[in-house]
Amino acid sequence: MPDQEVFKIAKSQAFKHLSYRDRSKKEIAEHLAKKGHTASIVQAILQDLENQNYINDRRFASEWSRWRIEVKNFGRKRLRHELIAKGVSSHIIETTLDTLYNSHPEQGLALACANKKLASLHGVEPEKKTRRLAQYLQRRGFSADIIYETLKISTTKDGGK
């Protein structure tokens, strides 16, 4: 009977953690382990939640990535890094990113980021502005090729000011 009670408590804690947003399997496992539950209880909870479709890494990766692209304008490299840290498998990551970046081209996202950042760099000397913009785009997760193309377009459009 004590095992059943521990299972119910752990499941309740997992549901509470899931109530804020969708989570990856790894996030739930880490949360339950942090609460002091044994590996066998954690595995049983994960299996139960997966069977009931409360956790689904494919759905999580898609929703997390879609939000980060549409709201934050993040590049592929940054999203890949975030999803790896959340324990999503590499084949799910690649499939998700390919799908999302087909409908949200990275070049367009980088240009949107650059235009927003350029507004805050008004009055900064051109070399410094270019360097800051490149660093900003790199932190947002864009590749060197996309950064280069974006800088070329942005500095031309900005008039090199």
> In whole angstroms, what is the distance from residue 76 CA to residue 136 CA?
15
pLDDT of 79 reads 97
112 and 90 in a common domain? no
Asked if residue 44 and residue 7 are part of one domain, the reply reads: yes
What is the span of the domain harbouring residue 66? 57-103
Check whether residue 88 and residue 121 sit in a common domain: no
Confidence at residue 122, expressed as pLDDT on a 0 to 100 scale = 86
The verdict on 95 and 125 lying in the same domain is no
- In the predicted model, residues of the chain with pLDDT beneath 70 are 1-2, 157-161
Q: What CA–CA distances, in Å, run from 76 to 65, 102, 144? A: 9, 11, 12
Q: Is the same domain home to 33 and 47?
A: yes
How many domains are contained in the chain?
3
Helix-helix angle 106-120:126-139, to 10 degrees: 130
